[in-house]
Amino acid sequence: MKTQKILAWIAIAIGVIYFFVPLIGTFEFSLRMRRGEYSVDAYQSVFSDMQFRETFGFSMVMALLTIVFGMLLVVPTAYWVRLRLPQIRPVIEFITLLPLVIPAIVIVFGYLRLYNSSSWLPFTGSTSGTNALLVLSYITLSLPYMYRAVDTAMRAIDVRTLTEAAEILGAKWPTIMLRCIFPNVMSGVLSGAFITFAIVMGEFTMAALLNRPAFGPYLQLVGANKAYEPAALAVIAFAITWFSMGLLQLVSRFSKMAPSRP
């Protein structure tokens, strides 16, 4: 089995080179702004750019709204399907997977035709309407991840017994949802939230075609016009992705360590 081990290490080495060289290259490039020496000038230039702060803030707000409204849609639906309509679970699952099949650019193309300012429901007629449509499009994009995360968490708890227990104790529907179901599927809600955050922060297609000043289109604009700032932004974006994925791993590890319910 000696050769097997050598081959395995060769595979790992190739992987490490392939993955790390671009990251090191990006980091090194981002430090090269001042001629002849390494400096953090590119980062300073990025952070002092008003547009960076505005677009970053905008995308952050969009991400938070997507998470809140997405979860308000997904958690009750997943709960209801498990409790009352288990027979249509395959249908719901199929629908939630559709955004992985239909490219984002096609979906937003459809929005622009259906909800333009001269249509029956003119979302894109006003700024707030377009923002709302952007959030709705992000909910669509993150539906596969959110639904799966929540549904997996819901499989671990006994939805029916929890609901009956709460009903016997006199709880009404809002209480059952907010005080029994949500806290118990928190790990799923959080993992769905982190991955949604990572997706929304860098998303380009939807925001660019809906003409909103989000972080993704800003990145593209900087990339087309500047030399060293894009590398610095790539490092920042990678850090954001690491941050959200790291939190996700932490949450899933934490929920695994929690005492298992019978």
Total residue count of the chain as it appears in this document? 262
Q: Which of 91, 67, 74, 90 is nearest to 177 (CA)?
A: 74
Q: Does 19 bind other proteins (CB under 8 A)?
A: yes
Q: Does 250 bind other proteins (CB under 8 A)?
A: no
Q: Which of 233, 239, 238 is nearest to 220 (CA)?
A: 233
Distance CA 213, CA 208 (A): 8
Q: Cβ of residue 80: shortest distance to other proteins, in angstroms?
A: 4
Residue placing its CB nearer to other proteins in the complex, 15 or 122: 15
Residue placing its CB nearer to other proteins in the complex, 57 or 110: 110
Which one of 12-20, 57-65, 150-158, 182-190 is the stretch in contact with other proteins (CB under 8 A)?
A: 12-20
Residue placing its CB nearer to other proteins in the complex, 74 or 153: 74
154 to 183, contacts with other proteins by CB under 8 A?
Answer: none
Burial 113-136 (b: 16+ CB within 10 A, else e): eebeeeeeeebbeeeeebbbbbbb
Residue placing its CB nearer to other proteins in the complex, 112 or 157: 112
Residue placing its CB nearer to other proteins in the complex, 28 or 164: 28
Task: Tell me the torsion sign for CA atoms 152, 158, 164, 165.
Answer: negative
Task: Supply 121's token pair.
Answer: 């429901």
Q: Cβ of residue 13: shortest distance to other proteins, in angstroms?
A: 10
Among all chains, which residue has been given the structure tokens 């959200």? 244
Select the residue interacting with other proteins from 37, 50, 90, 113 (CB under 8 A): 113
Q: Does 105 bind other proteins (CB under 8 A)?
A: yes
Q: Does 122 bind other proteins (CB under 8 A)?
A: no
Is there a contact between 85 and 93 (Cβ–Cβ < 8 Å)?
Answer: no
45 to 104, contacts with other proteins by CB under 8 A?
Answer: 73-74, 76-77, 80-81, 84-85, 88, 92, 95, 98-104
Residue placing its CB nearer to other proteins in the complex, 72 or 165: 72
Q: Cβ of residue 218: shortest distance to other proteins, in angstroms?
A: 9
182 to 241, contacts with other proteins by CB under 8 A?
Answer: 195, 198-199, 202-205, 209, 216, 219-220, 223-224, 230-231, 233-234, 237-238, 241
Is there a contact between 82 and 208 (Cβ–Cβ < 8 Å)?
Answer: no
Residue 262 CB burial class (10 angstroms; 0-12, 13-18, ≥19): exposed
Q: Cβ of residue 20: shortest distance to other proteins, in angstroms?
A: 9
Q: Cβ of residue 8: shortest distance to other proteins, in angstroms?
A: 2
User: CB within 8 A of 200, min separation 6: which ones?
Assistant: 59, 62, 63, 66, 138, 141, 142
